[in-house]
């Protein structure tokens, strides 16, 4: 399968319709995925891609899309999410739930198949009491 590495901000998902075309930019898809991910159980929040000084940084609500990478591969999407999880949960299961949720939400909102959701756990956070 040839992966078409779309540069993040320019190439949009384009669907032609009777009255014109619909373009959805990767940043919009990233925001959808980011909001779906933050609502997932056991997820503390999104982290910025790549570690800054070795520390994972929790992203604020308005830029959760910074913690998501969207790459278009043929007619499908490959999504990378960078998250920080809660302490004391089964990370493998939470990550699996996250994959399902992100895939479902993105497919429902933009109607484009999601090929992969790669979860990167950047950190673990003790719950706030």
Partner 1 sequence: MVAALKATGVDGQLFKRALLGSLSWLAANHEEVNRLNVFPVPDGDTGTNMLLTLQSAVEDVKESNAAEVSKIAKLASHGSLMGARGNSGVILSQIFRGFARAVEGKGSLTPAELAAGFEEAANAAYRAVNKPTEGTILTVAREAGRAAATAASNPDATNRWKSRSRRWRLSTSPGCRSWRRRRWRWRCPRVDGVTAPSF
Residues that bind partner 1 (CB under 8 A): 36, 38-45, 86, 88-90, 93-94, 97, 100-101, 104-105, 127-129
CB of 102 to partner 1, least distance (A): 9
CB of 129 to partner 1, least distance (A): 7
Q: Check: CB of residue 82 under 8 Å from CB of residue 48.
A: yes
Q: Which is nearer to partner 1, 44 or 72 (CB)?
A: 44
CB of 63 to partner 1, least distance (A): 15
Q: How far apart are CA 102 and CA 4, in angstroms?
A: 21
Between CA 31 and CA 88, with CA 43 as vertex, the angle to 5 degrees is 170
Q: Which is nearer to partner 1, 31 or 40 (CB)?
A: 40
Q: Which is nearer to partner 1, 20 or 88 (CB)?
A: 88
CB of 20 to partner 1, least distance (A): 32
Q: Exposure pattern of 50-82 as b/e (b: 16+ CB <10 Å)?
A: eeeeeebbbbeeeebbbbbbbbbeeeebebbbb
Q: Which residue has the tokens 């056991």?
A: 42
């Amino acid at each position: 399968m040839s992966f078409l590495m779309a540069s993040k901000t320019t190439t949009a998902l384009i669907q032609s319709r009777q009255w014109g075309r619909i373009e959805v930019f990767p940043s919009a898809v990233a925001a959808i995925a980011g909001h779906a991910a933050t609502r997932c159980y056991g997820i503390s929040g999104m982290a910025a891609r790549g570690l800054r000084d070795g520390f994972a940084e929790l992203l604020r609500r308005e830029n959760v899309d910074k913690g998501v990478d969207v790459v278009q591969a043929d007619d499908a999407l490959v999504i990378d999410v960078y998250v920080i999880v809660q302490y004391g949960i089964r990370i493998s299961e939470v990550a699996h739930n996250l994959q399902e949720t992100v895939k479902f939400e993105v497919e429902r909102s933009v109607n484009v198949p999601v090929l992969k959701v790669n979860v990167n756990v950047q950190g673990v956070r003790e719950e706030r009491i």
